[in-house]
Amino acid sequence: MPRGDKSKYTDKQERKADHIAEAYKDKGVSAGEAESRAWATVNKDDGGGKRPGGSGRGQDTGNPAAHKGGAKGGRASATRSAAERSASAKKAAATRKRNAGHGQHASH
């Protein structure tokens, strides 16, 4: 099977790659690079093509690439001082207290 042959990938994997590539293109990445990154992400998630003869067939993926967002987002709060985090927490608590009782429905 020549390099770049996508015959071992499922329709779902191809849709996933298309979706990822579109997101990269929207960010300004060139079409070729977006395509490369998209398939690399699918391979990282699924371990290759899932159809017969593809190495990833029948394995649970865990979708590792889809879980990087939380770690990246956590860096922002890690750079804030304890005082800033505390002020934010106090503000959130005050909001919850103010809104207590608003979202409750009468039982049917």
- Give the predicted TM-score (pTM) of the model: 0.56
Span 10-63, pLDDT tens digits: 898 999 999 999 999 999 999 999 999 999 999 888 888 888 876 666 666 677
- Distance between terminal CA atoms of the chain? 62
Tokens representing residue 36 in the block? 């490369």
User: Where are the domains positioned within the chain?
Assistant: 11-56+63-97
Number of H helices, E strands in the chain: 4, 0
The predicted model gives 73-89 an average pLDDT of 82
- The separation between CA 54 and the C-alpha centre of its own chain, rounded to angstroms, equals 24
**What's the pLDDT score for residue 91?**
95
